[in-house]
Amino acid sequence: MDKLLLQGGARLSGEVAISGAKNAALPILCASLLSAEPLRLTNVPHLNDISTMLRLLGEMGVGVTLEADGLILDGSGLNNPVASYERVKTMRASILVLGPLLARGGEARVSLPGGCAIGARPVDQHIKGLQAMGADIKVEQGYVHATARRLKGARICTDMVTVTGTENLMMAACLAEGETIIENAAREPEVVDLANCLISMGARISGAGTAIIRIQGVAKLHGATHAIMPDRIETGTYLCAAAITGGDVRLLKTSAAYLDTVVDKLMDAGCDITVEREAIRLKAPRRLQAVSLRTAPYPAFPTDMQAQFMAINCVADGVATIRETIFENRFMHANELMRLGANIQIEGNNAIVRGVDRLEGATVMATDLRASASLVIAGLVAEGETLIDRIYHLDRGYERIEEKLARLGAQVRRVN
């Protein structure tokens, strides 16, 4: 099993390019199920989760052709509406095939994703919304069995803001009869990127990026070409890596457009940030100021950046309170950070982080994708060697992380 070995102390500097957004690419790959014509995608990140999704779509009959700068998905051969437990258990985002399968072919059998390290993560809202659109859905033997002659537009208000729930329902509504209104919709930029791709395929969608999305169903969608948006969470992760090392880093092929709250917090921590059209530069002070935060749905502070900010607060000046309001168990990184010498107190969904002067390298274990990122960030400044185990979590969401960090001057290598 691969591990990451870091030697703390290097100050990050230089430039690195950001990849396409994992959480935009995953639903957009599933949009290929909605059309019998080719969907050409560029700026698709090379991640394990993307490979898993391509394998799943291939098993359903979607043709996948790799190109130099992207890939072509051909949904004309769709012949198997089943997403097996073996496939789904490795990636919960597989649930995103449910809506498109139902809308295109009238049938879907998708394994329930089950929980994961950060929480139970049920999909009841996905099911409730599809039932409102006329789907007949049974949940048995751990599978969602869904059928519908043709989905009908409905007015749906989800009980809570759900990103993939909004995406599943929006994709299903594209081919439904009549108008669907999704209220309490997720406003994440990745939802907007998916909507833009669907619109380029002929879907009629308005309001994406707001809490009310309206979709007028059409008979079919045609092929299109779409470039995946930059990954705002990868961007934020490298900004935190630069910040904790007192570095000076410029990130390319990305933008601060969707990172207002993250940029504000890094400026509160004492960083100097310059925003360009397709780049963002951060210059950090020698020691950061502690910054408190509260996660919430977009446009508030993203839960996917919570672990990274816990890491920078470990060695900042002062005390920070981190409140996680989205997932019930997303502090798994705290125990591992404490092994490096961090001073963290967990009280329910609050974490109180008291900055210490220095961290000491140790062997730590990754538990989930963003927790792994926080251990990497801490390992960049921990004195001596930090060995991170189970980094398959990292490879799900960060493209060539050790290469990109090494290019910025970090002393890091993959060992097995």
Residues annotated as catalytic (active site), given as ranges: 116
Between residues 288 and 301, which has the closer beta carbon with respect to ligand EPZ?
301
**Which runs of E-coded beta strand occur in 52-118?**
63-67, 70-74, 82-83, 107-111
Rounded Cα distance between 243 and 133, Å, is 47
Does the footprint of ligand EPZ cover residue 23 (CB under 6 A)?
Answer: yes
Please give the residues from 128 up to 187 whose contact with ligand EPZ meets the rule CB under 6 A. Answer: 160, 162-165
* Given 25, 26, 29, 130, the residue binding ligand EPZ (CB under 6 A): 26
Longest dimension (CA), the chain: 64
Q: Could you tell me the smallest distance in angstroms from the CB atom of residue 297 to ligand EPZ?
A: 7
In sequence order, which ranges of 340-381 are alpha helices (DSSP H)?
369-379
Please give the residues from 191 up to 210 whose contact with ligand EPZ meets the rule CB under 6 A. Answer: none
Between residues 148 and 233, which has the closer beta carbon with respect to ligand EPZ?
233
Closest CA to 150 of 170, 138, 133, 166: 133
**273: Cβ contacts below 8 Å, ≥ 6 apart:** 239, 256, 263, 266, 267, 280, 281, 282, 283
Retrieve residue 129's tokens. 């919304």
Does the footprint of ligand EPZ cover residue 398 (CB under 6 A)?
Answer: no
Rounded Cα distance between 331 and 353, Å, is 12
* Given 87, 104, 126, 393, the residue binding ligand EPZ (CB under 6 A): 126
**402, 403, 405, 408: CA torsion to nearest 10:** 160
Retrieve residue 318's tokens. 């002062």
Between residues 10 and 164, which has the closer beta carbon with respect to ligand EPZ?
164
Does the footprint of ligand EPZ cover residue 43 (CB under 6 A)?
Answer: no
Between residues 50 and 290, which has the closer beta carbon with respect to ligand EPZ?
50
Between residues 232 and 339, which has the closer beta carbon with respect to ligand EPZ?
232
Does the footprint of ligand EPZ cover residue 100 (CB under 6 A)?
Answer: no
Please give the residues from 280 up to 309 whose contact with ligand EPZ meets the rule CB under 6 A. Answer: 303-304
Residues of the shown chain interacting with ligand EPZ in the complex, contacts defined by CB under 6 A:
22-23, 26, 93, 119, 121-126, 160, 162-165, 303-304, 326-327, 369-370, 397
